[in-house]
Amino acid sequence: MEILGIIAFVLALLTSVMFHELGHFLTARKFGMRVSEFFVGFGRRIWSVTRGETEYGIKAIPAGGYCRIEGMTPGDEMPAGEEDRAFIRASSLKKLIVLGAGSTAHFMIGFLLIFSIFFAVGYTTLTPTIAQVSENSVAEAAGFKAGDEILSINGKAVEEWSVDVKQIADSKGAELRFEVLRNGEKLTVTAAPSYNEEAKRYILGVVSALGTERDGIFESTSQAGRATWFLTKESVKSLIALPTKVPQLFRQTFMNEERDPNGLVGVVGAARVSGEAVGSEKLNGNERLTTFILLVASLNVFVGIFNLLPILPLDGGHMAVAIADEVRALAARLRKKPRPAPIDVNVLTPITGVVVVLLGILTVILVIADIFNPVSLNL
């Protein structure tokens, strides 16, 4: 099962990459830009086919993909008569839309995956059905039985047990009237919750059964939106804290310090965690699937945010260049001068090279750490 989880994660990652590049591809084509290649993977071509002006294919190294939009820099040559289709000739707004489409695809994937948990897969939650009645408890004295389903409390119908159960904790010991369903028959049971010093609240002395719950389309949309926003904020916090976690990662990699589950994790580590979740005997089938989906959704949201960082060669770096072009154009207009030539990102190659080297070093360290000192969620 663990191997199955790892394979599923890799396939999900490759699918995410494909949709990232598809975002660039569709928006570029929408704005009339020339797209000559759309490949999944890097390295040697394994298979390709040309349709129209675009070559589609798969390459040997399944570590990403790319969409080649022609005319990304002023020095790029375009086919005769198609100079106006160069990326560099498009308006800044169109450039930003094309460049941001990749991250937008990741956010959409993350949202839809989380939506699927609430709407289709279901999530584990407490139910109003009593799984166990504690000995010598208020519930036992009142006559509650295992298997009873609580239908209402003081005449208020139970709709969401995790919310409705708070009436017991907030009762301050006052007697409550419960309508329960037992063996198909409705009964009324009264009980006054007692204060529990350990729990620091009023309790009946029952253990609620776990169950799988699914929400309607509108509630699922709302829940998925809130969850995606939460993951987005957490991803931003993680990126801000990234420089402070690199020394910790170094110690964990080369000095055998225990890995922090909340620390930096690479693709290899994420795949292993996914395998651990899918193969866990502590989780039921629904919980395994939900955990896996949430891991993939979290990764997509993080990648979407990371890709927007204003550093080359990331999409966010190219977006920063497009914004800088527009600022320069505005300054020229205010001075009543002609629009300056677009910034040539090739001039920034040394900076790009440094960033690539740093990211490469970080990736290598993460791979080493994920192999020899892997993160475990103890699932």
Q: Are residues 280 and 307 in the same domain?
A: yes
Q: State pLDDT tens for residues 300-359.
A: 999 999 999 998 888 999 999 999 989 998 999 999 898 888 888 888 888 888 888 988
Contact status, residue 235 vs residue 305, Cβ threshold 8 Å: yes
Distances in Å between the Cα of 39 and the Cα atoms of 10, 20, 51, 63 are: 17, 12, 13, 11
Q: Tell me which residues are annotated as active site.
A: 21
Task: Report the chain's mean pLDDT, rounded to a whole number.
Answer: 89
Contact status, residue 148 vs residue 181, Cβ threshold 8 Å: yes
For range 180-186, the mean pLDDT: 93
**Is residue 257 situated within a structural domain?**
yes
Q: Are residues 110 and 257 in the same domain?
A: yes
Domain that holds residue 282: 1-34+70-122+216-379
**Is residue 308 situated within a structural domain?**
yes
Q: State pLDDT tens for residues 86-135.
A: 999 999 899 999 999 999 999 999 999 999 999 999 988 889 999 999 98
Q: Are residues 169 and 193 in the same domain?
A: yes
Give the model's confidence band at 212: pLDDT under 50 very low, under 70 low, under 90 confident, else very high. Answer: confident
Q: Please state the domain count of the chain.
A: 2
Choose one of 191, 213, 235: the last residue of a domain.
Answer: 213
At position 255, the amino acid (one-letter code) is M
Give the pLDDT of residue 209.
Answer: 92
Q: Are residues 151 and 141 in the same domain?
A: yes
Q: Are residues 310 and 362 in the same domain?
A: yes
| Straight-line distance from the first to the last Cα atom of the chain, in angstroms, rounded to the nearest whole number | 13
The pTM (predicted TM-score) of the whole model is 0.83
Contact status, residue 20 vs residue 102, Cβ threshold 8 Å: yes
Which tokens go with 246? Answer: 């690199």
Return all residues near 219 (Cβ < 8 A) that are at least 6 apart. Answer: 118
Phi and psi based region of residue 46 (left: phi greater than 0; alpha: psi -120 to 50; beta: remaining): alpha
Q: Are residues 16 and 118 in the same domain?
A: yes
* Burial readout 44-83 (b: 16 or more C-beta within 10 A, e: otherwise): eeeeeeeeeebbebebeebebbbbbbbbbeeeeebeeeee
Give the model's confidence band at 30: pLDDT under 50 very low, under 70 low, under 90 confident, else very high. Answer: very high
Instruction: Enumerate the H helices of 117-180 as residue ranges.
Output: 138-142, 161-164, 166-169
124 phi/psi in degrees, rounded to 5:
-75, 130
For range 42-61, the mean pLDDT: 90
**Is residue 16 situated within a structural domain?**
yes
Whether the predicted pLDDT of 64 surpasses 80: no
| Of 123, 119, 100, 111, the residue nearest 296 (C-alpha) | 111
Cβ atoms < 10 Å from Cβ of 210: 14
Q: Which of 167-176, 255-264, 321-330 shows the lowest mean pLDDT across its residues?
A: 255-264
Q: Are residues 209 and 135 in the same domain?
A: yes
Give the pLDDT of residue 200.
Answer: 87
**Is residue 289 situated within a structural domain?**
yes
Contact status, residue 145 vs residue 182, Cβ threshold 8 Å: yes
Whether the predicted pLDDT of 191 surpasses 90: yes
**Is residue 277 situated within a structural domain?**
yes
Q: Are residues 273 and 350 in the same domain?
A: yes
**Is residue 207 situated within a structural domain?**
yes
Whether the predicted pLDDT of 4 surpasses 70: yes
Q: Reduced to 3 states, what is the DSSP secondary structure of residue 204?
A: coil
Whether the predicted pLDDT of 251 surpasses 90: no
| CATH number for the domain harbouring residue 167 | 2.30.42.10
| Token pair 């390709």 in the structure block, residue | 48
Q: Are residues 181 and 325 in the same domain?
A: no
**Is residue 143 situated within a structural domain?**
yes
